[in-house]
Each structure stands twice: as C-alpha cells, then as structure tokens.
Amino acid sequence: MVVTSNGEEEEAQLKPEYDWKSELKGFDDSKTGVKGLVDAGVTKIPHVFIRGKSQLSDTSTTISIASLCNVPIIDIEGIHGSSAQRVEIIKNVRDAYEKWGFFQVVNHGIPTCIMDDMVDGVRRFHEQDTEVKKGFYSRDTTRKFNYNSNFDLYQSPVANWRDTSYCIMASQPLDPQELPAECKYDTKVKYSIDLGWVFMFLFLLLVVLV
C-alpha cells in the first residue's frame, strides 16, 4: 500500500530488492567459475558482473589514447655481447622505467617450448571436467595451487568476467601431488627457474640505474 500525492491510498506491487550478496555467494559456492556459467548456457550476464554507468570509462577516449601508445619492447638478447649493446639495452630499460613504469621483454632466454607448455597446461586445466576442477577451487591463500574466480570477489564492487589458476613455486618447493594432472610439474619448475633468472637480471639492472 502506498500514499499518492493527493493523499489517496493505492495498491502497489513492490519489487523485492536485489540480493547482491546472495548471488555472489551462490556463484562462488558453485565452484565452477565463469566458464561454468558459459558451459551451462547462461543467456544473461549475472548482476554481480554488471558495472553501473558511473563505473564505465569513456570508451572513445580509452581507444584514442590506446591507439597512440606503444608499450616499450626491450630486446635483451645482446646483453652478453659488446659493451655498446649492453649500454643500449640499459638505456632502453631506463627510458621504459622512467616514462612508462613497465615494458615487454623479448629474447629473454626462456625456451618457447616451455612457455607453450605452460599455456597448454593452463588451457587443459580450465577445459577439463567441472567436477574435477571443483576439487581445486579455493580461497585458501596458503595452498600452493589454487583455482577460483576473482581473487577479490568479496571485496570488489563488481566481479570481473574471469577465472584464475595460479601456482606458488617459492620459497618452499611445491609437492608434485598438489598440482593437477594437466599441469606438468617439470614444466612448472623449469619455467619458474628461468623466470627467476629474468627477474634477477631486471632487478640488477634497476639497481644499476638507481
């Protein structure tokens, strides 16, 4: 029952308020992630993933700015070559740090086959049977291997349309039994070691630049 401006009472059917927390918890408890929604044939994006107008950026502005930007690409293949090559690489890294704060590294020494195996392993994991994946779905940050959707699901005002799997390789060695069968243990170890060397190299360069 509602009262109109002229004081008359009228019947009105009030819509129940949208229960954001319940939908969020229901999505998380399903342990199937975004891919689970797609596999189930969802035809309407759940409210928890929809941004309001105030949260949307000006797409035209974003596109125009992005079209003018080229992320720096640093080729470090010649770092062990002549002094002139090293000086040039260091200069490029310095410029990228100062002007961008980030950059892409190429010819870093990590074998392509290792990177391809990493990508394939992630794809195989996410494409496997849902019931198997559920066993790895968790928000327990102490686990070495974790799979979930949105690490900040309960903190962010809007969920992102993504699922994530990640593996912690340091500081204690990972037990191979903690990894899904689709993710090769040897590949993970090799990739983490190679990546560690790249990080160390970039860190030492940063120390030199500072």
> Could you identify the residue written with the tokens 């009105």?
12
The CA distances from residue 171 to 106, 138, 144, 175, 179, in Å, are 26, 21, 11, 12, 16
First vs last C-alpha separation in the chain: 70
- Virtual CA dihedral for 30, 32, 33, 38, nearest 10 degrees? -110
Q: Which residues of the chain have pLDDT under 70?
A: 1-18, 55-69, 208-210
Q: Which residue has the tokens 């502005």?
A: 61
Number of C-beta neighbours around residue 37 at 10 A: 19
Q: Are 169 and 188 in contact (CB under 8 A)?
A: yes
Q: Look at the pTM and tell me if it is higher than 0.75.
A: no
- The tens digit of pLDDT for each residue in 10-35 reads 444 444 566 888 999 999 999 999 99
3-state helix, strand and coil shares in percent for the chain, rounded to the nearest 5: 50, 10, 40
E-state strands within the chain: 2-3, 9-10, 73-75, 104-106, 145-148, 164-167
The pLDDT value recorded for residue 101 is 86
**Residue 133 near residue 123 (C-beta atoms within 8 A):** no
